[in-house]
Amino acid sequence: MKKKIKQALISVSDKSNLKSILRILNKYKIKIISSGGTYKEIKKLGYHCKEVSEFTKSPEILGGRIKTLHPKIYGGILSIRNNKIHQRDMMKNKFEEIDLVIVNFYPFENTLAKTQNHKIIVENIDIGGPTMVRAAAKNYRDTTVITSTNQYENLIIELEKNKGSTNLEYREKLSEEAFSTTAYYDSVISNYLNTKTNNIFPKKKIFHGNLIQTLRYGENPHQKAAIYSTKKELGILQLHGKKLSYNNYNDIFSALNISKTLPKNFGTVIVKHANPCGVSINKNKVGSYKEALACDPISAFGGIVSCNFKINKEVAIELSKIFLEVVIGIRFEKEALKILKKKKNLRIIDASNLKLHKMNNIISNFNSLLVQNSDNKIFSKKDFKVVSIKKPNQKTFNNLIFAFNVCRNVKSNAIVLAKDKATIGIGSGQPSRLDSCKIAIEKMNKFQKIKDDDEIIAASDAFFPFVDGIETLVQEGVRAVIQPYGSIKDKEIIKFANQTETILVFSKTRHFKH
């Protein structure tokens, strides 16, 4: 069902590409109504336009807060053209039909990024724009609604193809997009106000997201998938390689969760199937990568490497020696990029703009959402308590904090063995903590050459419920252990540590990752 457009209302905050729309409306002799800055811009571009206040015979009031909120505007947008009662009311009130509404909103999201001034933020909550859009979207059988400059090109094509008219199917699609636009806009406002009042879990939680990319498939080929972001971009930039998959993104996020908590410009993380298989914060970049790789070189094959520093030529040469799915860096030197790009399918990611601040983790199953804030606090000594007779020196304490930081990013039950701020064995995802200990030890014995004077330390993401776990570690040469407190067996664990002259440090918080 085609609808001839005779009159359009234009009220846009983003006035870019307006000329292209005015040109096509003029071609098909479509009358234009507008207000405020848009009216001035249209006149400036040399096109005839009637101001809203002239159209409604009602002036703008309240400093411009009320411009388009008038029965003549909404009658023109909402009237059903083949409804006799509607048409009678339109004639009685001398209202004119409005067939096309072109509106984009006050830049509320951009305002949030620029200022924390609440008064300015509130003034950038659009009222008339979303109201007109909702009205036009509801009446899509008769009214065409445009909410973004990105839709201008298709509108021009549609009007050209239909000689000044639009098809029902096209209007219905625009209606769907319009309601998504108003819902998104309101959700940004809602979440801002929740944040301002520190209402973390309101009775009605509104989630919004921008489509970043549709993916080839989900975890498996029969599953459809896409990635959305609450921002307009993810903060990571792909520089080269095949399109990222669902599993790639999952691994990338796991890697970045660790590397972004490492000291600035130091550290390498290797991840496979969302679990770290090697981490090091050696200040030497090549040394850092080699130490991370040495933790489990077999698992690293086909994995993801995240470097918390600018990747140089020397590191790139080492990275290119094995098969990797993704390499992440905080920028890349030109020579490094040249070397890495020789691998056609290698995905190269620049994460220099990513900020892990005030982020939430969301898991969805069975039409429900589990929401929690991220576990990415930067640890310090005050977060821990030494409970053994034997005390750690500064170097040992720093190694323990390093291992514990890695451990909280390993799927529970998790055990991490480390020395000199590099992991040497990781046991992950076991129902039994004792089994995780045995896996970490097995990895260490398989890939490491341990000397008698090496100080091996261990981290556990939760308390040891029995002595057998810590006993197994100490028997393999572990000299210091860090774990959360809270077990009814804590006293027995402390007693064992003192009997074996093992350093024992308790964390004040538990750090499961399921």
Close Cβ partners of 152 (under 8 Å, ≥ 6 residues apart): 17, 20, 21, 146
Q: Are 188 and 181 in contact (CB under 8 A)?
A: no
Two domains, one topology: 238-350 and 381-507:
yes
pLDDT at 460: 92
pLDDT at 10: 94
pLDDT at 300: 95
Positions of the chain with pLDDT under 50: none
Helix runs in 393-475, H state only:
394-407, 433-447, 467-475
Q: Are 170 and 155 in contact (CB under 8 A)?
A: no
Question: How many Cβ atoms from other residues are within 10 Å of residue 454's Cβ?
Answer: 13
pLDDT at 371: 80
How many Å apart are CA 184 and CA 209, to the nearest integer? 8
- Is the CATH number of domain 238-350 3.40.140.20? yes
Close Cβ partners of 87 (under 8 Å, ≥ 6 residues apart): 79, 81
pLDDT at 60: 79
Write down the architecture of domain 3-196 according to CATH.
3-Layer(aba) Sandwich (3.40)
How many Å apart are CA 470 and CA 118, to the nearest integer? 53
pLDDT at 24: 94
Closest CA to 254 of 168, 326, 353: 326
Q: List residues with catalytic annotation.
A: 138, 273
pLDDT at 375: 78
Please give the structure tokens belonging to residue 235: 């903060």
Close Cβ partners of 409 (under 8 Å, ≥ 6 residues apart): 254, 257, 258, 276, 513
| Helix H or strand E encompassing 138 | helix 128-138
| Helix H or strand E encompassing 128 | helix 128-138
C-alpha pair distances (Å), 310 with each of 185, 286, 507? 37, 12, 32
pLDDT at 389: 95
Please give the structure tokens belonging to residue 145: 């609604």
DSSP string, 359-416: -EEEEEETTEEEEEE---PPP-GGGEEE-SSSPP-HHHHHHHHHHHHHHTTSPSS-EE
In this structure, which amino acid lies at residue 267? G
C-alpha pair distances (Å), 348 with each of 184, 187, 353, 439? 31, 33, 15, 31
**Which residues is 166 bridged to in the sheet?**
3
CA-based angle 157:161:162, to the nearest 5?
120
| CATH T-level topology, domain 381-507 | Cytidine Deaminase; domain 2 (3.40.140)
DSSP string, 49-76: -EEHHHHHT---BGGGTBSS-SHHHHHH
Domain range annotation of the chain: 3-196, 238-350, 381-507
Decide the pairing of beta strands 275-280 and 31-34: unpaired
